[in-house]
């Protein structure tokens, strides 16, 4: 991957990381690249961070480790010192060339949001365009939504072979809408009416989702089949089925696996791959999370 924005390897270079950091990417809003990158260095070499290409974009960062007495720079000049706290969210305007002195261990999740993504979410919500986000150097925010989305994405970053693109699209779409409202000037309650899908639309949507090997079809691809925006389609699908598209897919795979475990004498690895999971470990984690027991334990109970 050769990113055009401040995420993945480019963000790693900015922070002088020795290895490429884990990341996930979506292009669900106007084809704009949005990404989440996990960065960590337990033994950094003391020096000023690198520079990022000035662009109309933002980094939203959840800190996973305290970083006391952080020396912050903008536009090539020292600005302030601040105690950065684990669990807090910080915003950086990439037009200002944000930098800081790296002289302590750090661990963060960075979300990359370009202007085109903010314009896209405003368009989907039928709202006015979002102005500048509120970015104050060294000022953190107690943001439960960013913490939750970060926690749910971390496993996906570390297991790229198991990534469900519908899930990544859903999470980063939700993150963008939240940031536009919480730190921009996009008003609440601007989404289109929450209608349901027609029966034929539901059947077709389920066919498309279920036929996708490895969950690689994007939310935008499915929504385009019906002429909907991704956010409108995701809401309508959930109203109709009771589940977001990515959760519906996982439930469907688990139910299919149950049928195979009761009707055919196949190994769990064979079943896992045949229903669309990356491997048996992936299958076991999802099955256990939804059913409450492992696939092996479930099959033994059924056979008794």
pLDDT tens digits along 142-179:
999 999 999 989 887 888 777 788 888 888 989 999 99
For the segment 82-97, the average pLDDT, to the nearest whole number, is 96
For the segment 198-217, the average pLDDT, to the nearest whole number, is 77
Cα–Cα dist 167/170, whole Å: 5
Instruction: Give me the pLDDT at residue 81, please.
Output: 95
Element housing 113 (H / E) = strand 106-114
pLDDT beyond 60 at 189: no
- Alpha-carbon 34 to chain mean position: 9
Element housing 145 (H / E) = helix 144-158
Instruction: Give me the pLDDT at residue 61, please.
Output: 97
* CA-closest candidate to residue 155, choices 38, 13, 2, 18: 38
Q: How many CA atoms, within 13 angstroms, populate the side-chain half-sphere of residue 180? A: 30
Instruction: Give me the pLDDT at residue 143, please.
Output: 95
Buried b (16+ CB within 10 A) or exposed e, 262-289: eeeeeebeebbeebbbbebebbbebbee
For the segment 197-223, the average pLDDT, to the nearest whole number, is 79
Average per-residue pLDDT in the chain? 88
Say if CB 39 and CB 11 are below 8 A apart.
yes
- In the block, which residue shows the tokens 């519908």? 166
Cα 15–37–58 angle (5° rounding)? 80
Instruction: Give me the pLDDT at residue 3, please.
Output: 65
The model's confidence at residue 244, banded by pLDDT at 50, 70 and 90, is confident
Q: 54 vs 29, which has greater pLDDT?
A: 54
User: Which phi-psi region, left, alpha or beta, contains residue 163 (left: φ > 0; alpha: ψ -120 to 50)?
Assistant: beta
Instruction: Give me the pLDDT at residue 127, please.
Output: 81
Instruction: Give me the pLDDT at residue 212, please.
Output: 66
* CA-closest candidate to residue 7, choices 81, 117, 164: 117
- Alpha-carbon 138 to chain mean position: 24
For the segment 190-204, the average pLDDT, to the nearest whole number, is 73
């Amino acid at each position: 991957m050769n990113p055009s924005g401040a995420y993945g390897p480019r963000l790693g270079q900015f922070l002088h990381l020795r290895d490429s950091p884990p990341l996930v990417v979506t292009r669900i809003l106007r084809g704009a690249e949005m990404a989440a990158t996990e960065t960590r260095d337990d033994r950094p070499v003391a020096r000023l961070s690198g520079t990022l290409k000035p662009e109309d974009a933002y980094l939203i960062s959840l800190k996973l480790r305290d970083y006391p007495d952080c020396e912050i720079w903008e536009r090539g000049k020292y600005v302030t010192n601040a105690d950065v706290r684990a669990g807090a969210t910080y915003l950086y305007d990439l037009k200002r060339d944000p930098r800081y002195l790296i002289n302590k261990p750090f661990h963060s999740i960075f979300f990359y949001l370009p202007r085109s993504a903010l314009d896209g979410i405003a368009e989907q919500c039928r709202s006015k365009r979002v102005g500048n986000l509120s970015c104050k150097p060294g000022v953190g925010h107690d943001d439960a939504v960013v913490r939750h989305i970060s926690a749910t994405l971390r496993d996906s970053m570390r297991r790229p072979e198991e990534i469900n693109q519908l899930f990544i699209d859903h999470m980063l779409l939700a993150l963008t809408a939240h940031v536009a409202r919480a730190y921009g000037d996009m008003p609440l309650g601007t989404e289109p009416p929450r209608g349901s899908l027609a029966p034929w639309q539901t059947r077709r949507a389920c066919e498309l989702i279920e036929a996708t090997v490895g969950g690689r079809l994007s939310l935008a691809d499915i929504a385009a089949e019906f002429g909907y925006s991704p956010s409108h389609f995701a809401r309508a699908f959930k109203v109709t089925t009771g589940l977001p598209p990515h959760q519906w897919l996982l439930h469907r795979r688990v139910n299919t696996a149950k049928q195979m475990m009761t009707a055919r004498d196949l190994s769990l690895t064979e079943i896992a791959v045949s229903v669309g999971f990356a491997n048996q470990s992936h299958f076991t984690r999802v099955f256990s999370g939804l059913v409450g027991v492992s696939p092996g334990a479930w099959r033994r109970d059924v056979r008794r």
